[in-house]
Each structure stands twice: as structure tokens, then as C-alpha cells.
Structure 1
Amino acid sequence: MARVCLICEGSYPYVVGGVSSWIQDLIKSNEEHSFSIVCIIPNKEFAKIKYEIPKNVVEVKDIILDKAYEISHLKVLKNKIAFKDLESDIKKILDFKNSNLEEVLRVIEKISNKKYGNPLEIIINESFWNSLLNYYNENYDSVGFNTFYWTYRNIFLNMISLAQEDIPLADVYHPVATGYSGYLSVLAKLKKGGSLLLTEHGIYPREREEEVIGAKWIEKEFKKIWIDFFYFLSRMTYEQCDRIISLFQYNKGLQIENGADEKRCEVIPNGIDIEMYSKVERESLPGFNIGSVLRVVPIKDVKMMLKGFKVALPKLRDTKLYLIGPTEENEEYYKECLELVQNLDLKEYVIFTGRADVKKYYKFLDVLMLTSLSEGQPLSILEGLACGIPFIATDVGNCREILKGKEEGEAGIIVPPTSYSDLGEAIITFYQNRDKIKEMGANGKKIVTRYYTKKQFIDAYKKLYEELGE
């Protein structure tokens, strides 16, 4: 039996969705192993459990990033001399392009020692200030120091805070992304031993890069710092991993491009319970029923879906759009979507179901849609295809390969991200050709049965846990 520590960032067991469902299946299907769950979350309010925790989970540990720290100025003063000797070391960790990652980890471990105080007491030390000031003068003196300082202060508060955490002892540390969860896993491996197994559902730094580029709260000059930082965390994780898993071949290539050792990389696709979904008895309801299984959050681009549906609506008759999934994760965005429904005069056509049993809707939906800006290998697509429902999906992640790249035939239509006009045309295409719906639905069933079964996915991880947990 292996002791596995799964390390999550902003997901299981507090967020419903693909990654969290994947984790739940992984734990429940590996009853012979014990699991600790480490959850990196923004605040206490986030910690509302959405899943029934399996019996083989022995611990759930929350790590809150947004903490308030008290300062002992006496402690800061006492450590002034000790930190003076660390100024040259601190400078080495400020450049996120530094290729000597082992040196970076040594410095982080050294300056994060609790004898120097809590993360804030360390950050406000004069030596840290001097190192930042020198780095600023050498590299960023054309932009304002105030924003530069707060950018680096926020980054290193989190890094030092995580470095001071006590992580459960395990045989295998298994982060489900790079980022902070990957960084924490690296520290755990170095401090406590064990193996490091990474599974990436999407490519973390690329997803964060998209968010940073679009973020209004980050000044233009400092977006590069955040982007470099996220790639830095990924390189650090890749370097220390014993195995690196992606869900499909294209993402494996991106991992290698970003610094992963090809010899340690492997592809293990997602898998679903084919038997469970094959038992869903299809019903033929009047009209044309479209659905999407999703969290109502910006990354899913629900607004594009609504606009595309509006484009198609004049050509449709007796139609409904069901948006199936939780709405509370980003209440502001949900409110904006409701306002858009109102503004587009779609109120009688669009139904937000909230959290629901998706199999109830898989019984009668004619077509499913996914309009995400970024994805890995969506479980919702695999589930829908297993029920014989074709898809319209944006050209992100593994969507094209699933729907278009198999010898069993096409199982859906691919449209460009953000293009609601193309989405509208795709909806009309399905509406006007019911034979295409039937043909692609049958193809989809063949695809998931051959390539994406839960047994294949579980067996692969059982083998990895046995090998790495020895």
C-alpha cells in the first residue's frame, strides 16, 4: 500500500468540475492506497466541501494563501545581521529566468527558515528590501518602484508561506498542476523524500498567461513578471518530477517544450465509466434541445455560448438551451450572464439548472456544447459522447482530437474560440440535419469505448503508484 499525497490548487474537494471529478474517481478506485489531500485555497470561505470524502482519505489539509500576519519588530531587528549575509543569495531568486533551479530551491529553503519569523517578517527585512531595490535599479528603473515592490512582495509572501508549511509524509507526492501545487510538492519531496508524480490536465503557465494578459488589475509593465513566474514554477516542478503525465500528445509536446524531460513524460487519457453512461436511456422529446455541462465561470465563455445561440435562434423552432452546472463559484459573472440573457431577449429559451444530475439531461439532449477559452481533456465531452450525443466545441485542448481525429469518424463540430457567429452556424447545421446528429452520436460512442474508459485510466495510475511507492 502506498501513501499518496494529492496536492490541489483551488479545486478538490471545494470546486465541482472536471479536475475534481477526476480526483474523486482516482481516490475511490484506489482503495488499496491511502490518500492525504492538501488544498491550496485563497481564504477560509472557499473551504466548503462539495464531495463526499472517500474512506481511504486519511487527512484533508487546507493551506490558505491570503493570510494576515502580525509583525514583531524586535524579531525583524534581531535578524537584521543574520539576513545581511543572505543579500547575495536573495538576488538569485528574483530572476525567474534563472536556470539554476537547484540553487533557487536552496536559497528559498534557507531564507524561509522559521527562525527568521513568519513570511511577512522575512519579506520586510532590510536585506530583502535592499536586494529588491538593487534588482529594480538594474532591470526595471523605467517603471514605478511602488508597483514593482508590491508585485514581488506578493509573490514571495506566497512562496515563503508555502515553504514554511508542514506537508503530510507520503511515498508519492501527486500534484494535479504545476503552479503553487507543483512548487509545494517539490518542497515536500526535498524535505521528506518520496517520489513526485505530476498530472497536468491543462498547461498551467499557458492558462495563467492568458489570464494575466487579460487582467486589468496588473499594470502592463508588470505582466511579464507574473508570466515569467508561472513558467518558473513549472520548470521547477518538471525538473524534480519522477514522472510527468499529460492527457494527450499535444500537451506532452508543450511540457517538453517548457523544460520537461521527454524520458519522464507519458500520456494517460481521461476515462469514464462507460457502463454507467451506456445505461442512460435516450428519450426523444419535442423540439430541439441543446445543453452544456459547465461551471458558470469566465474560462467557460458562457457569454459566447449565449451570443451564438442568439445568432442561430431565428432558424430554430421549439428550442431550449440548458446550462447545467453550478453558478455560485463566480456570482458576479453569473449575474452578467443573466443580464445578457435579458438583453438578448433569451429568457424563455435559456435555463440555468444549477448543480444537477447530468444523466437526467443526457437522456433527451440533441446536441451538447463546450465554448471554453482553455481546456485539457474535458470529461463532459467524454460523458456526452458515451451517451450518443454529438458536440460543438471550441478548438482548445484535446477537443479537436477527440471529435475529429479518430478513425471511427467525426463526433462533432469544432469552432474557433470566442467566435459566436461560427457557433451559431454550427447549431443551425445540426438543427437542419438530424441524420448528422445520429451519425456523429454513434461515432462518439465508439470513440469513448475504444480510447477513454475508466478502467484504462485507473489501471495506469495503479501501476504508477505501485512503481513510485516502493
Structure 2
Amino acid sequence: MAKICLICEGSYPYVVGGVSSWVQDLINLNKEHEFSILCIIPNKEFAVSKYELPDNIKEVKNITLNPDLPVTGFRIFKNNYIRKDKVKEELFNLMNFREASVEKSAEILDSLSRKEYGNPMEVVVSKIFWNPLLRNYRENFSNTNYNIYYWTYRNIFLNLIGILQEEIPEADIYHSVATGYAGVIAAMAGYRGKGKIVLTEHGIYPREREEEIVHAQWVDKSFKSIWIDFFYFLSKITYKYSDVIITLFDYNRNFQIKNGADPSKCLVIPNGIDKDSFGNLDFEKKETFSIGAILRVVPIKDVKMMLKGFRVALRKLRNAKLYLIGPIDENPEYYEECVQMVKNLEMEDYVEFTGKVNVTDYYKFLDLLLLTSISEGQPLSILEGLSAGIPFIATDVGNCREILTGKVEIGEAGVIIPPTSYVDLADSLVKMYHSRDRLKEMGENGKKIVEKYYSREIFIEGYRKIYRELGDKQWQE
């Protein structure tokens, strides 16, 4: 038996979705191991569990971002007036995230995490932080607003130092389910020799953050590059100190290698579905042409594009209904905007937000499923839907194209459209509506694809082997 610490960021057990479902399955299917869960969350109110925790989870620990920290005058005085030229130089080099040396960065982060210079607030208000910050500004950002520049770096380092100063559970294996903040915690555990490090990337974290930041209103355009470079830096340091780097499909593996991952550490283990849970449902056809989307109502799922496309298609569809199936409470403002859009488009009779429900109740009658995300990894919702024999229209993100149209020896299980294109969505909806024989054929192909390439047996055996081998190595050392 190995002790495994799973490190999650903004997901399990507090958010329902693909990554969280994957974590729940991973724990349930590895009963021979003991797990602890380390959760990085935005605030204490976030910590409301949405899952019944398996009995082999022995501990759940939360790390909250943006903590309220005291400042000790003596510590500030000590940091200000005892010479620390080496620390200042290392911090200056780290602030240029794009060029920063991973090895030297790990060294200074280790020092900061051991509280040698106080808590995060005591670091960022002292000269050991202020002097390199000012130097970096003069050399790289002198034509920008200093106040915004200061708060950008201050927020980054408060959270970065803060999460690294937290005590983490003792474990043989630290398994991060993303790079980002979760990844850097695992990386520093590896740097200190606390255990073996496993990384699983469902999507490519810095690419997803880059997409968000490019369109974000809260980040001044002069400083978007700082945040983007920071998240790519977190990936690089995670790759460096991971013993095994896993992703779900080859395209993402190649992207990891391009961004610094050692090819000899990189593996592909696809998601796996229990075909008996979804493949043996009794289909109960409704009078309507029933279209569904299994999702969280959040911006990255581009629900608004889906609604626009459905509205355009409705002109040529008879007796159709769209079910948006999944939680609505993660981003209440976006959900309300979507509800208002339904009203503005006069679709109250054609669109239903279900909230959190048992999705198998809907798989029993859906004719077609949609996925309109602007970013994905290897969506479990697609694998579940195909296992139930339901074809898809999906945007060309993540692994969607390979799953739906890439298994040429079996055939197509859906249609791929460009992200954000509600016109293409509408056209595809109309074509699928008028091609019932094609729908049936795609549904049958989908079942075969899941059974051959995405079985739960392949998924779980891959992780059992890794846990067994790394656990044995840890005990031998």
C-alpha cells in the first residue's frame, strides 16, 4: 500500500465536472492505496463538498489563496537591514518568468517556503522583495503604470509563497492533477525529496490560463504577459521535478515536450469509461428531438454560443428541445446572463437548465449531444455520451476531433465544428436532424470507439502500474 497525496486546484471535491469525476474514479478504483487530498481553493466558502468521499481518503486539507496575514515589525526590520544580496538577485531573476532558471528558482522558492524571511506579507513589504521589483520595473516595464505593475507582482508572490509555506500531508507519492499552483506544490515536494511526483494534465494548464487572460477585463493589457509567463513557468518547474508526466492523448504529450518536459517521463493514459454504466441504458424516445449538453454553466463552455446556434437552427427544426444538464451555481453571474439570453431569444419553451441531476436519466432519451467549449482536454462527457450510443457535435478543441472522427477503422461518431462558430453549430444541427439513419450509425460507432480505446480497464491499469512502481521505489530508497 502506498500513501498518495492528490493535489487539486479549484476542483475535487468542491466542483462537479470531468476532472473531479476522474479523481473520484481514480480513488475508488485504487482501494489498496491510502489517499489524502490537498485542495487549493479561492476562499473558505468554496469548501462545500459535492462528492461522497471514498473511505480510503484519510485526510482533506485546504489551502486558501489570498490569506489575511499579520506583519511583524522585527521581521521587516531584519529583512530590510541585514544584507541579502544573493536573495535579491535570485528574486530578480525569478521575476522574469520567461527566462528564469528552473533550478535556481526552485532554490529561492525553497528558502521562501521555509519561512526564512517570514510569512508572504513580510516578504513582499520588505526590501528583499522591493529592491529586485524596482530593478525589474526599470529594466523591463519602465513605460508602464508602476502602481498596477506593483500590485501584479505582489499578488503573484503573495499566493506563490503562501501556498508553498503551508504544511502538506506526508505521502509516498504526490500526484498533481494540473500544473499551476497544484503543480508547483508537487514540484517543491519533489525538490525536497519528500516523495515521488506524478503529474496528470487533462488540458494544458498554461494554454487555458492564457486564453482566459487574453480576454480578461481584470488584467491590464500591459501586464497580461506577466501572468501568462508566470503560468508557463509553473508548468516548467512542475515538469522538471515530476517523475512521471501523464496526459490523455498524443497531441498534448507533444505540447508538454515542446514546453520542456522530458520525453522519457511522458506517458499517455486516456480516460476510461465503465461501459456497463452507460452502455446498457434502455432508450426511451421522447416526442421531441432531444438535444443535450453535459456541462457546468461557465464561460469556458461557451454556453452563449450554443444558445445562439440552437436559436438559428430552430427555424428549421420541428419540435426540438435543448437540455443544459449540470450545475448552475459555479458562476451565478454567467448563469443569469445565459437565462436572460434564453428570454431575449424567446426560447423559454425550448431550453431547460436542469441543474445538478443524474445524467443517466437524460442519456436514456437524448438524440444528440453538444459540446461547445473553447478549451478542453479529453472530455469525459463525450466518452460517457458515446458509451450510451449518443452522437456529438463538438468544437475542435482538445481531443474531440480524434475521438469523434479519428478512428477511421470504426467510423465517425459525431461532427467537429470550429470554436465560437454558432453558424456552423446551427448548420450541423439541421443536418443531423434530417439524417436520422446517420445519427443511428454514429451512435453505434461511438459505442465501439469507447469499448476499444477508452475502457476503464486501460485507464485503471495504467495508474495501478505507476503507483505500484513508484511506491516500491520510494520504499526501497
State the TM-score, normalized to the length of structure 1. 0.98
Q: Quick check: 1:436 aligned with 2:428? A: no
Kindly provide the amino acid, as one letter, of the partner of residue 19 in structure 1. Answer: V
- Structure 1 gap ranges (5+): none
User: Which amino acid in the other structure matches residue 454 of structure 1?
Assistant: R
Q: Does residue 53 in structure 1 map to residue 53 in structure 2?
A: yes
Deviation of the 1:116 alpha carbon? 2.5
How many angstroms apart in 1 are the aligned matches of 2:12 and 2:82?
40
Task: Tell me the distance in 2 between the aligned counterparts of 1:163 and 1:358.
Answer: 38
The equivalent residue for 1:362 is 363
Tell me which of 389, 402, 422 is aligned to 1:420: 422
Query: C-alpha separation between the residues in 2 aligned to 1:301 and 1:82?
Result: 53
Q: Is the 8 A contact 1:291 1:322 kept in 2?
A: yes
Q: CA deviation at 1:99?
A: 4.7
Cα distance in 2, alignment partners of residues 108 and 422 from structure 1: 48
In the TM superposition, 1:248-263 aligns within 5 A as: 248-263=249-264
- Asked whether the equivalents of residues 83 and 125 of structure 1 are also in contact (C-alpha less than 8 Å), the reply is no
Contact 2:270 2:454 in 1 (8 A): yes
Aligned partners of 2:90 and 2:104 also within 8 Å? no
Mapping 1:9-408, distance limit 5 Å: 9-82=9-82, 84-85=84-85, 86-406=87-407, 407-408=409-410
Q: Is the 8 A contact 1:307 1:420 kept in 2?
A: yes
Q: 1:319 deviation in Å?
A: 1.2
**Which region of structure 1 is more displaced relative to structure 2, 407-416 or 190-199?**
190-199
Which amino acid letter does the alignment assign opposite residue 96 of structure 1? F
CA distance, structure 1, for counterparts of residue 337 and residue 361 of structure 2: 27
CA contact (8 A) 2:174 2:186 kept: yes
Equivalent residue letter for 1:223: K
Which deviates the most, 430-439 or 188-197?
Answer: 188-197
In the alignment, is the contact (CA less than 8 A) between 1:248 and 1:268 conserved in 2?
Answer: yes
Give the aligned residue type for 2:449: I
Listed one character per residue, the Cα deviations across residues 179-215 of structure 1 (whole Å, up to 9, x for unaligned) are 1100010112223521111100000000000001001
Mean alpha-carbon deviation: is it higher for 84-93 or for 190-199? 84-93
Say which SS state the counterpart of residue 337 (structure 2) adopts: helix
Q: Give the match for residue 447 of structure 1.
A: 449
Q: For 2:434 and 2:89, locate their aligned partners in 1 and report how far apart those are by CA, in whole Å.
A: 69
- One-letter amino acid of the counterpart of residue 257, structure 2: I
> In structure 2, what is the Cα distance between the partners aligned to 1:112 and 1:289?
53
Deviations 1:132-180 (A, max 9, x none): 0011101110111111111111111111112211111111110001011
Q: Indicate if the aligned counterparts of 2:371 and 2:393 stay in contact, CA closer than 8 A.
A: yes
CA contact under 8 A between 2:187 and 2:240: conserved in structure 1?
A: no
Supply the RMSD in Å over aligned alpha carbons: 1.0
The match for 2:475 is: none
Q: What SS is found at the alignment partner of 1:8? A: strand
| Corresponding letter in the other structure for 1:370 | L
**Secondary structure of the equivalent of 1:315?**
coil
- 8 Å CA contact retained: 1:369, 1:392: yes
Q: Helix, strand or coil for the counterpart of 2:128?
A: helix
**1:82 Cα shift?**
3.4
Q: How far apart, CA to CA, are the structure 2 residues paired with 1:142 and 1:2? A: 53
Tell me if the contact between 2:275 and 2:387 (Cα under 8 Å) persists in the aligned partners: yes
Give 1:216 shift.
0.8
Range that drifts further, 68-77 or 264-273:
68-77
Alpha-carbon distance in structure 2 between the residues aligned to 1:443 and 1:112:
52
The residue matched to 1:156 in structure 2 has which SS? helix
The aligned amino acid for 1:285 is K
Partner residue, 1:6: 6
CA contact (8 A) 1:378 1:399 kept: yes
Deviation (angstroms), 1:78 = 2.8
Contact 2:394–2:400, Cα closer than 8 Å, also in 1? yes
Q: Is the 8 A contact 2:203 2:252 kept in 1?
A: yes
Q: Is this contact kept in 1: 2:190–2:242, CA < 8 A? A: no
Deviation for aligned residue 1:115: 4.2
C-alpha contact (below 8 Å) 1:376/1:398 kept by paired residues? yes
Instruction: Return the letter of the residue paired with 2:288.
Output: G
- Percent identical among aligned pairs is 59
Are the equivalent residues in 1 in contact too, given 2:301–2:371 (CA < 8 A)? Answer: yes
Out of 123-132 and 440-449, give the one that drifted further: 123-132
For 1:450 and 1:250, the matched residues in 2 are separated by 20
Kept after mapping to 1: 8 A contact 2:188/2:241: no
Are the equivalent residues in 1 in contact too, given 2:7–2:176 (CA < 8 A)?
Answer: yes
What secondary structure does 2:99 align onto?
Answer: coil
Deviation at 1:110, TM superposition (A): 1.8
Structure 2 distance, partners of 1:127, 1:239, is 27
**Unaligned 5+ runs, structure 2:** 473-477
- State how far apart, in whole Å, the 1-side matches of 2:310 and 2:266 are: 40
Which one-letter code corresponds to 2:126 in the other structure? Answer: N
**SS of equivalent residue, structure 1 residue 114:** coil
Distance 2:80 2:129 in 1: 10
